[in-house]
Amino acid sequence: MRVDRARVIVLTAAITVGSGAAGCQRQPTREVVFTDTAHRISSVERFAGETRVRTAGQDAAVRVDIRNWSLGGGLKLAELPLPVKGLMIVQLRGGRVTTVIQGNSQARREGEFWTVPPGVPMGVETGDDSATLQTIVIIQP
């Protein structure tokens, strides 16, 4: 599945703006929702709930999970431990990582966006320094 960068940015903006709109079923933000000190990884939930997005001229209800991840240096994960599965939009907010998606290894740059299809695990490796990711997982009910 190839999604061009412009579509990712528009969809991300629509979800981010829409998540604060009236009629959105927002769940309370939980501070630290996952911490694994042995692997030096933690995530903070930024939004989890339902919202509506407009695609192809039609409104669609979607469930969205937005998280910020802190990954320690020297980390090698076969799969990022996401609490929900769906289409994932990822941005490297800081540091450097290498991802492994469907057997393809890819070095990522700070600020880069990419997508991961539903049901496909994303492995993550950090170098000596830590890294920060933001994930947006979109699930259609």
Model confidence band, residue 10 (pLDDT cutoffs 50, 70, 90): very low
Q: What is the mean pLDDT of residues 44-51?
A: 93
Number of C-beta neighbours around residue 29 at 10 A? 12
Mean pLDDT over all residues of the chain? 82
State the pLDDT at residue 17. Answer: 44
Q: How many domains does the chain divide into?
A: 1
- Residue 87, domain CATH: 2.60.120.10
Q: Which two tokens stand for residue 136?
A: 């947006």
Report if residue 49 sits inside a domain. Answer: yes
pLDDT of residue 140: 85
Q: How many CB atoms lie within 10 A of CB 73?
A: 12
Model pTM score: 0.75
Residue 29 lies in a domain: no
Q: How much is the pLDDT for 54?
A: 86
DSSP 1-47: ----HHHHHHHHHHHHHHTTSTT-EEPPPPSEEEEETTTTEEEEEEE
Is 85 inside a domain boundary?
yes
Q: Which range marks the domain in which residue 50 is found?
A: 5-21+34-139
